[in-house]
Amino acid sequence: MSAFLLSRRRFLTAAGATVSSLPLAGCDALDGLIVNDSPVRRLLASANSLTYRAQRLLVPADRLAPEFAESEIRQAQRPNGSTDPGDATYLALKQDDFAGYRLHVSGLVERPLHLTLEELRNMPSRTQITRHDCVEGWSCIAKWSGVALSRVLDEARVKPEALYVVFHCFDSMPLGLAGSVAYYESIDMVDARHPQTILAYGLNDEVLPVANGAPLRVRVERQLGYKMAKYIRAIEITADLAPFGRGGGGYWEDLGYDWYAGI
Amino acid sequence: MTTAHDSESTASEAQPSPVISRHRLTTRLTHWGWAGALFFLFLSGLQIFNAHPVLYVGQQSGFAYDNSVLSISPVRERGGEVRGLTTVLGLSFDTTGVLGVSGPEKERAYRAFPAWLTVPSYQDLATGRVVHFFFAWILATVYAVWLVGSAINGHLRRDILPGLADIRALPAAFVAHLRFRFEHDGRYNSLQKLSYAIVLLVFFPLMIMTGLTMSPSMDAGWPWLVQLFGGRQTARTIHFVVMLLLLGFFAVHIAMVFAAGPINEMRSMITGRYSIRRSVDRGGRT
């Protein structure tokens, strides 16, 4: 009996000590180690290249993201990030219902393009009901219509050395203390050529609203929302992401988010 | 009964405590491997949760309708005071100080989980994700090593998978544990086998699979994943619930280590050597 009492007393003391030390596990001790550009951060972030390679290996290039029935569209597509760009060029175009809009396609192409919305709408279109997954954790199902990016790339005749497609956007995002920078994003040629990767001009059977990226946004259905640039001004084909922004391959990437957002 | 101490000391004087080799190297290495990985996965997971502290059931998150099952948020009351409100299946609890609203009175932080439960301590989804996915790879790798290793060396069949005899012994083992009576013959008892089997063969795979289901790319590659769990948001909810279950296991696990003799137990998981002295005494008494 006393053995039992002893072990219970010891247990309760030890348990109390454990519980009271839990807040010490609080993690500001680690904060300094994992800030951007520290060696530990670079090591941890290298797992993203592993994820990228593993998923490219496991998921065939043309494998489609799940598509849904009309009945599963139960709400308006939730807008996030910029929802109403105030940039002068954008406002001028918006005032005219984007009649003066041109999508510039340049970089590693044989034939640079300057496409009007009319020209884009006259190309073969694709409509898909897909799930939008935000990096924050939420999902929203909506119907997207647009032209396959691969179709535009074919028209521009992409050079063989091309590795990435960069999207330059009209909307500015905060950067640093008071500065701002234009949103940009990039994807590899596998996702750029994927059948569901479209330059969308329609949402839920309507013209793409400003809050969701009018006049043109990209859908990259096997990655998270931040890859799907809104308010696209120009597309640039490149073999190197270093010259853009801080070299991370996108606005959020430059702030520490993973470039590959398939997870 | 009253002379348990005496008999213990005489027993140890009379004969040296038998020390057995209890845990193999793979068991010990993988144990500490996933203990470390789970520590960081837990804290970075709560950081990720904080970016959108609502859990739903189904494919998507209801904004125009309600399919939420849990939410943690700061709510401003009429008096102007902000309180932390945690809502589980429609039931709301005031969790000010820990969930929803936390930190020192003077500079309250409006966040689901408090700073001392997240990595990093401040709100930083990008870093939370970087940490989470690094340790997710560690956990998956260590788990694969353990699974293959344990299948080959017999650990899985001998020590983990409960047999018919273990199922029969469960009620008695349950009662014995409630009375703080533990067997110390170096082998897992039926309750241990069952709990390790559930953690290692149900919770771990469930955690990895629901984690993968949240990946839009894996949903394209392995569409059966999202079908199995009934939607990405359901998978996210299950991921969270299994986290809580693992936390519960951890609490009991640590309690049992202390109750069964922390030094002997820790030694066995570090060096593999385990003293079975006490069981000899017990055997004598009963």
Give pLDDT, residue B281: 42
At A101-159, the pLDDT tens digits run: 999 999 999 999 999 999 999 999 999 999 999 999 999 999 999 999 999 999 999 99
Between CA A133 and CA A221 the distance in angstroms is 9
Model pLDDT for residues B88-139, shown as the tens digit of each residue:
999 999 999 999 999 988 889 999 999 999 999 999 999 999 999 999 999 9
Instruction: Give chain B positions within 8 Å (CB) of A46.
Output: 134
Domain assignment present for B279 = yes
In which element (H, E) is residue A41 found? helix A39-45
For residues B100 and B110, the answer to whether their CB atoms sit within 8 Å is yes
> CA dist A251 to A104, A218, A226, B158, B195, Å?
20, 15, 9, 53, 46
What's the confidence (pLDDT) of residue B38?
A: 97
Task: Say whether pLDDT at B166 is over 60.
Answer: yes
Pair B172, B260 in one domain? yes
- B168 and B286 part of one domain: yes
Spacing of C-alpha A112 from chain mean position: 25
**B194 assigned to some structural domain:** yes
Select from B4, B133, B232 the Cβ nearest to the Cβ of A48: B133
Average pLDDT (B176-182) is 80
Q: Quote the CA–CA distance of A112 and A107 in Å, as a whole number.
A: 8
Range of the domain at B200: 154-286
pLDDT at B37: 97
Asked whether residue B133 is assigned to any structural domain, the reply reads no
* Residue of B48, B134, B258 lying closest to A11 (CB–CB): B258
B92, B165: one domain: no
* Residues A255, B130 contacting (CB under 8 angstroms): no
Is some CB atom of chain B closer than 8 A to the CB atom of A41?
A: yes
**Interchain contact A141–B (C-beta under 8 A):** yes
Give the burial class of A16: count Cβ atoms within 10 A of its Cβ; 0-12 exposed, 13-18 middle, 19 or more buried: exposed
In chain B, the residue whose alpha carbon lies closest to the alpha carbon of A7 is B259
Same domain, residue pair B187 and B272 = yes
Tell me which of B179 and B63 has the higher pLDDT.
B63
* Interchain contact, B221 vs A18, CB within 8 Å: no
Q: Report the residue of chain B nearest A31, measured CA to CA.
A: B120
- Domain ranges in chain A are 26-58, 66-254
Cross-chain Cβ contact B180/A25 below 8 Å: no
Residue after which a domain boundary falls, among B112, B139, B162: B112
Most B CBs within 10 A among A48, A133, A227, A246, hence the mutation to make, goes to A133
Q: Which residues of B touch A133 (CB under 8 A)?
A: 214, 216, 232
Banded pLDDT at A13 (limits 50, 70, 90):
low
Tell me the pLDDT band of B6, cut-offs 50, 70 and 90. Answer: very low
Q: Do B95 and B171 fall into the same domain?
A: no
Beta pairing class for A103-107 and A232-238: parallel
Instruction: Give the pLDDT confidence score for residue B184 in this predicted structure.
Output: 67
CATH topology classification for A66-254: Sulfite Oxidase; Chain A, domain 2 (3.90.420)
Q: Is the Cβ pair B116, A27 closer than 8 Å? A: yes
- For residues B161 and B241, membership in a common domain is answered with yes
What would the mean pLDDT of B151-169 be, rounded to a whole number? 89
pLDDT band at B276 (very low <50, low <70, confident <90, very high): confident
Report chain B's C-alpha Rg in angstroms: 23
Is position B163 within any domain?
Answer: yes
Q: What is the ipTM of this complex?
A: 0.89
Question: CA of B281: which chain A residue's CA is closest?
Answer: A3
